[in-house]
Amino acid sequence: MILIGLGANLPSPEFGPPRATIQRALEALESAGVVILARSDWYSTAPVPASDQPRYVNLVAAIGTDLAPDDLMRLLHQTEDRFGRVRGARNAARVIDIDLLDYDGETRGSWPLLPHPRMTERAFVLVPLRDIAPEWRDPVSGTDIDTLIAAAPDRDGVRAIDNDEAM
């Protein structure tokens, strides 16, 4: 299973609020040949680390692609660029963020690092991931997703977004 995480907490001048921007980014990935196999519910999440930034909108998708991890990562970065991602300070507010979380359980110490090196510490990734892959285990430690969520410091900042809720 190939997993990507998408998040945003700033509106895009071209694509609108974070939720609309993420939806359009998924559509752009599909237009590039990526198949969206499953996607989580929408979540509103507190910024990590805690700050006065706006809350994020997040989701996780399982995808199908013939692209190798490095080619997929390049496509994800190109999509972020197309949607107005400005790379600046780490953990800065952003119009779009697309992360390669897991690529069929592969572990890599070179770019792109797999699994994503901080995903197991982030409830804003793990909670939506559980929606589509409740049996997922960290490929490095073998730890199950429920144990990881219980240990995540940001677990109290994650809440489901009602389908009619604008964000």
- Identify whether the C-beta of residue 76 lies closer than 8 Å to the C-beta of residue 65: no
Name the nearest CA neighbour of 30 among 63, 57, 6, 60: 63
Catalytic residues: 85, 94, 97, 99
Residue with tokens 């992360």: 99
Task: State the Cα–Cα distance between residues 152 and 128, nearest whole angstrom.
Answer: 13
Which residues lie below 8 Å from residue 136, measured CB to CB, with a gap of 6+? Answer: 1, 3, 102, 129, 130, 144, 145
User: What ranges in 8-64 are assigned the alpha helix state H?
Assistant: 18-31
Whether the upstream peptide bond of residue 112 has omega within 30° of 0, thus cis, is yes
Contact between 166 and 19 (Cβ < 8 Å): yes
